[in-house]
Amino acid sequence: ASFLLLCFRSSLATPLIFCLLLQAPLTQLSTITQPNFVLLLADDLGIGDVGCYGNDTIRTPNIDRLAKEGVKLTQHIAAAPLCTPSRAAFLTGRYPLRSGMDAVNDYRVIFWNAGSGGLPPNETTFAKILQQQGYSTGLIGKWHQGVNCESRNDHCHHPLKHGFDYFYGMPFTLISDCQPTETPEMDRAFRRKLWLSTQMIGLITLTAVLGRLTGLISVPWKTLSCLAGFSLLFFICWFSSYGFVRYWNCIMMRNHGITEQPMVTDRTTSLVLRESISFIERNKHKPFLLFLSFLHSHTPLLTTEKFLGRSRHGLYGDNVEEMDWMVGQVLDAIDKEGLKDTTLVYFASDHGGWLERQEGERQLGGWNGIYKGGKAMGGWEGGIRVPGIFRWPGVLPAGTVIDEPTSLMDIYPTVVHLAGGAVPQDRVIDGRDLLPLLRGTVAHSEHEFLFHYCGVHLHAVRWHQKDTGAVWKAHYVTPIFSPPGAGACYNRGFCPCFGEGVTHHEPPLLFELSQDPSEAKPLSADTEPLFDTVIRKIGRAIEEHRRTLTPVPEQLSVSNVVWKPWLQPCCGTFPFCWCDKEDDN
């Protein structure tokens, strides 16, 4: 009997042990107490620009490899459709209007290194928490969250004040003004108005002087002198900022010091890649966080000669393929140091592609696949649905695709919890820990509602009805495309958030995204029996959400975004700001 009992126990134990061995690769989480994190964030990349998301003409083998070896999210949502607010939300896990990083006006991003707005010092980034947990934290690439508050060197918004031990990159963002051969991009329409106003004032002044000299008008010379002085002062006031954008905004920094002013764009890509790999090599023996914030694929599309002309989509496609190569180089560095199994790699874009960005026949912005709209559009999917890929061999199941609503804000609690930290309890954190969803231990995202803002204006709300799997989306405000039916605001360059350029919907436009991801067929009470129920449900969610909002200083107010010469980062004696320390090295 004892022999039979022993055989019976053995017969049970054998398949049990076999099953445990099969599951072992996905049950090692407890043995990795503090994984490394490599967060890769593209700039202006459309979801339709990546091979694993359906593009078959731009080659992205390294990003595709990440998806094959990890988890691909198909409903990954940015908290804002523009750089500054989206990145603020990414860093803090909070909707940007909670930190004052979304705009009430048309200045929806930080415009100058010498502005006083930026990510407030009282905001706690995931980098700051990881730093407290003993991580080495580095940011390479784009920041665009401000620099100074009151003086040139207070660096109150600087990455090193927000939890990063090391920073190399642009405190601002890449713009066409950084490339001397490109047409200026920054505030282009406003600059034209300033030039026109200067010419008109100058013409009036010259006409008055000629009239006085010829005796046609009797204007006192004192009045003419004041008019001439005003003309000169007006010109100096605006040209001192807009006339030197390349020197004021296109700079590279290492920690608090400026290394290039203006930046030498021909070598930027190689320096960013070198710094990224060097950071991994320096910190391989301790837990680290590397946030590689690409300058690709924002205009002016800095692309090295090696990649020019390689793609079927002109300069933009070349630029995306070069970024993919950079991703591959970083992954190779992780493999080389034996860190692959202890490193969580994440890839995403800060928002959708810029449809309106064109120069003549050249399309310089991205493609958002089947999704309507693009960059700057807070409601339409094309502006906010982005690639989202996680890879962590042995912990996350390879080749997994998840079609649940997730957010860039979710990176915050996910990273913090894995590092052994705790999210702040004194504020609202809108992100949710993604690890259970990524590992497959839960079937649904924790997000029931996601709120889609354009500036501080609520444009749309997404409701994930978990019991049925439906994803409803109600649009309360949509931009007016120009020309009509064009799918973007080509006549403006950007779609606005408010004013004459938008339409308010009452009742709201309603779509069921799981059936209509392109938002092509709005539902109505006549075509959808649940229409009124869904709208009421979303309406109650909006009321509850608004009760969680508290007034905060507006970081993107006009007074905060204007150029202030006393705040201008300068590697010389202002206004003689010029240096090239990389060349000196």
- Distance between CA atoms of residues 120 and 145, nearest Å: 9
CB distance 379 to 452 below 8 Å: yes
- Distance between CA atoms of residues 202 and 228, nearest Å: 8
Half-sphere exposure of 353 (CA within 13 A, CB side): 25
Task: Point out which residues pair with 454 in neighbouring strands.
Answer: 457
Residue type, position 504, single letter: H
> Which among 144, 158, 452, 459 is annotated as catalytic?
144
Q: CB count, 10 Å around CB of 209?
A: 17
Task: Point out which residues pair with 580 in neighbouring strands.
Answer: 260
Give 423's contacts (C-beta < 8 A, 6+ positions apart). 93, 129, 412, 413, 416, 417, 429
Give 3's contacts (C-beta < 8 A, 6+ positions apart). none
The label of the residue with tokens 């026109």 reads 196
Q: Helix, strand, coil % (nearest 5) of the chain? A: 40, 20, 45
Phi, psi for residue 580 in degrees, rounded to 5 = -145, 80
CB distance 402 to 439 below 8 Å: no
Q: Which helix (H) or strand (E) holds 13?
A: helix 2-23
Phi, psi for residue 534 in degrees, rounded to 5 = -65, -45
- The sign of the dihedral angle between the CA atoms of 158, 164, 165, 171 is negative
Q: Which helix (H) or strand (E) holds 258?
A: strand 257-261
Q: Which helix (H) or strand (E) holds 292?
A: strand 288-293
Residue type, position 37, single letter: F
Active site residue 83: yes
Active site residue 7: no
CA neighbor of 375 nearest in space, from 512, 487, 498, 502: 487
- Distance between CA atoms of residues 98 and 94, nearest Å: 7
DSSP label at residue 183:
P
> Which among 52, 76, 83, 570 is annotated as catalytic?
83
**How do strand 71-77 and strand 358-359 relate by DSSP bridges?**
unpaired
Residue type, position 429, single letter: I
- Distance between CA atoms of residues 558 and 556, nearest Å: 6
Chain CA centroid to CA 450, Å: 17
Cis ω before 424 (30° cut-off from 0) = no
Q: CB count, 10 Å around CB of 47?
A: 27
Taking CA atoms, 334 is separated from 37, 286, 328, 392, in Å, by: 11, 13, 10, 12
Residue type, position 568, single letter: Q
Chain CA centroid to CA 238, Å: 29
Q: Which residues are catalytic?
A: 83, 144
